[in-house]
Amino acid sequence: MYSMNSSSENRVKKTLALILNKYNCGVLLSPLYTCVKELLINAIKANYKNIYFEDFAPNGTDGDGLNYHTALRLFKLEMSREDAKNLERLARRREISADVFFYVDSDILTVTVINPTPMTEKELDKIRQKLIDAESCNDISDYFLIHADDPENEGAGIGLILTAMILRSLGVDLSTLTITYDRAVTRAKLAVPLTSTTIENYEKNTQSA
């Protein structure tokens, strides 16, 4: 996928619905689809960011002398405008896409999102910290309070926090949500039991919300 448009969203949702209905877990479609969508959005944005920053030199400046933080603000601005379609076109031209795979074994649904944009160790450390923070947050507003004064907070990764919150509401241990990378790709993976216990946890937390 080169973007999360209505067509790609529908394909993912229909595929997930077929799997969940097969295991009598259709009620979990909304929370799990949200998780999958957030992971895909993160992967697609990572692809766009890689394209946007490909001209940056190792010292953290581009040919025009822009530093990383200034360029990052410009990237975030472009992502919030119609101009983001230009990055989508470049991704399509270069065949830089994000892909999602579903696999069920022993009533465990495993979702893997892969994109051909390897991370840096610093980026992975930030993601690990986000997941640690998610353990101590009751909702996303708590996360914003923790990072309100963080000058290096890119505003990205909120989807990971939301995904972590949803997994907690399902009674799923956050250790099942992993982000790994090698020289070629980044992989985001989560595993959810398709059981009556998961459904009960979701319904209980939905009713008490």
Whole-number pLDDT of residue 30:
95
Instruction: Output the pLDDT for position 60.
Output: 44
More confident residue, 168 or 19: 19
- Structural domain boundaries of the chain? 6-208
Using alpha carbons, select from 66, 185, 176 the residue that is nearest to residue 114: 185
Q: Each residue of 97-131: pLDDT tens digit? A: 999 999 999 999 999 999 998 777 877 888 887 77
Going by pLDDT thresholds of 50, 70 and 90, the confidence category of residue 63 is very low
- Rounded distance between C-alpha atoms, residue 65 and residue 72, angstroms: 13
Residues across the chain: 209
Phi, psi for residue 133 in degrees, rounded to 5: -60, -35
| Tokens 């992502």 found at | 79
Nearest Cα to 191, choosing from 174, 209, 208, 169?
174
Could you give the C-alpha distances from 48 to 54, 95, 157, in angstroms and in order?
A: 10, 12, 15
How much is the pTM?
0.82
Distance CA 183, CA 31 (A): 32
49-58, 130-139, 163-172: segment of lowest average pLDDT? 49-58
d(CA 169, CA 167): 5
Per-residue pLDDT for 35 more than 90? yes
Contacts of 8 (CB under 8 A, 6+ apart): 1
Residues 159 and 41: beta-carbon distance below 8 Å: yes
- Distance (Å, rounded) from C-alpha 65 to C-alpha 48? 21
Cα separation, 31 vs 114, in Å, equals 20
